[in-house]
Amino acid sequence: MAAEEISLAQHLKQIPAKVRPTFQAARATVRAAAPAAREIVCAGGPPRSKTYMWKIVRYAVGGANVAGIGVFPTYATLFFYRGRELDDGSGLLEGGGKEMRFIRLRTPADVERPAVKRLLRKGFQLGRPAKDR
Protein backbone atom coordinates (compact mmCIF):
# COMPACT_ATOMS: atom_id res chain seq x y z
CA MET A 1 0.00 0.00 0.00
CA ALA A 2 1.41 3.40 -1.00
CA ALA A 3 2.01 6.10 1.59
CA GLU A 4 -0.63 8.82 1.66
CA GLU A 5 0.48 11.93 -0.21
CA ILE A 6 0.65 15.07 1.85
CA SER A 7 0.95 18.60 0.54
CA LEU A 8 3.57 21.11 1.57
CA ALA A 9 0.77 23.29 2.97
CA GLN A 10 -0.29 20.41 5.22
CA HIS A 11 3.30 19.95 6.41
CA LEU A 12 3.64 23.68 7.11
CA LYS A 13 0.60 23.62 9.40
CA GLN A 14 2.24 20.88 11.48
CA ILE A 15 5.79 22.25 11.66
CA PRO A 16 6.41 23.73 15.13
CA ALA A 17 5.71 27.49 15.04
CA LYS A 18 9.18 28.23 16.42
CA VAL A 19 10.85 26.44 13.49
CA ARG A 20 8.48 27.44 10.66
CA PRO A 21 10.23 30.77 9.76
CA THR A 22 13.61 29.01 9.61
CA PHE A 23 12.18 26.28 7.39
CA GLN A 24 10.63 28.89 5.08
CA ALA A 25 13.92 30.84 4.87
CA ALA A 26 15.80 27.64 4.04
CA ARG A 27 13.27 26.74 1.35
CA ALA A 28 13.54 30.18 -0.26
CA THR A 29 17.33 29.99 -0.21
CA VAL A 30 17.42 26.53 -1.80
CA ARG A 31 14.95 27.60 -4.49
CA ALA A 32 17.05 30.70 -5.23
CA ALA A 33 20.26 28.65 -5.42
CA ALA A 34 18.74 26.00 -7.70
CA PRO A 35 15.59 27.28 -9.42
CA ALA A 36 15.57 24.35 -11.86
CA ALA A 37 15.70 21.73 -9.10
CA ARG A 38 12.59 19.64 -8.61
CA GLU A 39 11.01 20.14 -5.18
CA ILE A 40 9.59 16.89 -3.83
CA VAL A 41 7.40 16.86 -0.73
CA CYS A 42 8.31 13.98 1.56
CA ALA A 43 5.52 11.60 2.55
CA GLY A 44 4.39 11.05 6.08
CA GLY A 45 3.83 13.19 9.10
CA PRO A 46 5.74 14.26 12.16
CA PRO A 47 7.90 11.57 13.77
CA ARG A 48 6.78 9.95 16.99
CA SER A 49 10.00 10.91 18.75
CA LYS A 50 11.52 14.37 19.28
CA THR A 51 14.93 12.93 18.48
CA TYR A 52 14.09 12.05 14.86
CA MET A 53 14.29 14.50 12.00
CA TRP A 54 11.10 15.11 10.10
CA LYS A 55 12.04 15.35 6.42
CA ILE A 56 9.77 17.90 4.78
CA VAL A 57 11.12 18.44 1.24
CA ARG A 58 13.97 17.27 -0.94
CA TYR A 59 15.42 18.72 -4.12
CA ALA A 60 16.53 16.71 -7.12
CA VAL A 61 18.42 17.52 -10.30
CA GLY A 62 18.42 15.08 -13.19
CA GLY A 63 16.56 12.55 -11.06
CA ALA A 64 19.22 12.54 -8.32
CA ASN A 65 18.54 13.86 -4.81
CA VAL A 66 20.86 16.74 -3.95
CA ALA A 67 19.56 18.45 -0.81
CA GLY A 68 16.65 18.44 1.58
CA ILE A 69 15.17 20.31 4.49
CA GLY A 70 13.99 18.69 7.68
CA VAL A 71 12.94 19.89 11.09
CA PHE A 72 13.30 18.97 14.72
CA PRO A 73 11.18 20.58 17.47
CA THR A 74 13.66 23.46 17.96
CA TYR A 75 15.64 23.81 14.72
CA ALA A 76 15.70 23.01 11.01
CA THR A 77 18.34 21.15 9.05
CA LEU A 78 19.59 21.53 5.53
CA PHE A 79 20.97 18.17 4.48
CA PHE A 80 23.05 17.11 1.50
CA TYR A 81 22.75 13.63 0.03
CA ARG A 82 26.38 13.72 -1.18
CA GLY A 83 27.62 15.85 1.69
CA ARG A 84 30.72 13.76 2.28
CA GLU A 85 31.98 14.94 -1.10
CA LEU A 86 31.47 18.64 -0.39
CA ASP A 87 34.52 20.73 0.36
CA ASP A 88 33.52 22.50 3.55
CA GLY A 89 36.10 25.02 4.64
CA SER A 90 33.49 26.65 6.89
CA GLY A 91 33.09 23.79 9.38
CA LEU A 92 29.31 24.02 9.14
CA LEU A 93 28.68 20.50 7.87
CA GLU A 94 27.92 17.94 10.56
CA GLY A 95 27.44 14.22 10.49
CA GLY A 96 29.60 11.18 10.05
CA GLY A 97 27.40 8.92 8.00
CA LYS A 98 28.44 7.15 4.85
CA GLU A 99 27.30 9.96 2.51
CA MET A 100 24.95 12.56 4.00
CA ARG A 101 25.93 15.69 5.91
CA PHE A 102 23.78 18.44 7.38
CA ILE A 103 23.79 22.01 8.66
CA ARG A 104 21.77 23.02 11.74
CA LEU A 105 19.68 26.13 11.21
CA ARG A 106 18.42 27.63 14.46
CA THR A 107 17.16 30.95 13.04
CA PRO A 108 16.30 32.36 9.61
CA ALA A 109 19.51 34.42 9.83
CA ASP A 110 21.54 31.18 9.87
CA VAL A 111 20.33 30.47 6.34
CA GLU A 112 21.64 33.82 5.11
CA ARG A 113 25.26 33.07 5.99
CA PRO A 114 27.50 33.18 2.91
CA ALA A 115 28.97 29.77 3.80
CA VAL A 116 25.50 28.15 3.69
CA LYS A 117 24.79 29.62 0.26
CA ARG A 118 28.23 28.55 -0.96
CA LEU A 119 27.64 24.97 0.19
CA LEU A 120 24.26 24.94 -1.54
CA ARG A 121 25.81 26.06 -4.82
CA LYS A 122 28.55 23.43 -4.49
CA GLY A 123 26.00 20.76 -3.63
CA PHE A 124 23.89 21.47 -6.69
CA GLN A 125 26.98 21.71 -8.88
CA LEU A 126 28.05 18.29 -7.60
CA GLY A 127 24.53 16.95 -8.17
CA ARG A 128 24.46 17.88 -11.83
CA PRO A 129 25.28 15.17 -14.36
CA ALA A 130 29.03 15.04 -15.15
CA LYS A 131 28.48 16.18 -18.73
CA ASP A 132 26.80 19.39 -17.46
CA ARG A 133 29.40 20.40 -14.84
Amino acid at 121: R
Asked whether the predicted pLDDT for residue 1 surpasses 50, the reply is no
Q: What is the pLDDT of residues 37-91, one digit of tens each?
A: 999 999 878 888 888 999 999 999 988 999 999 999 999 999 999 999 997 788 8
Domain membership flag for residue 61: yes
Domain membership flag for residue 79: yes
Domain membership flag for residue 70: yes
Domain hosting residue 84, numbered range: 18-128
Number of domains in the chain: 1
Which H or E run includes 116? helix 114-127
pTM of the model as a whole: 0.89
Domain membership flag for residue 11: no
Domain membership flag for residue 72: yes
| pLDDT recorded at residue 127 | 72
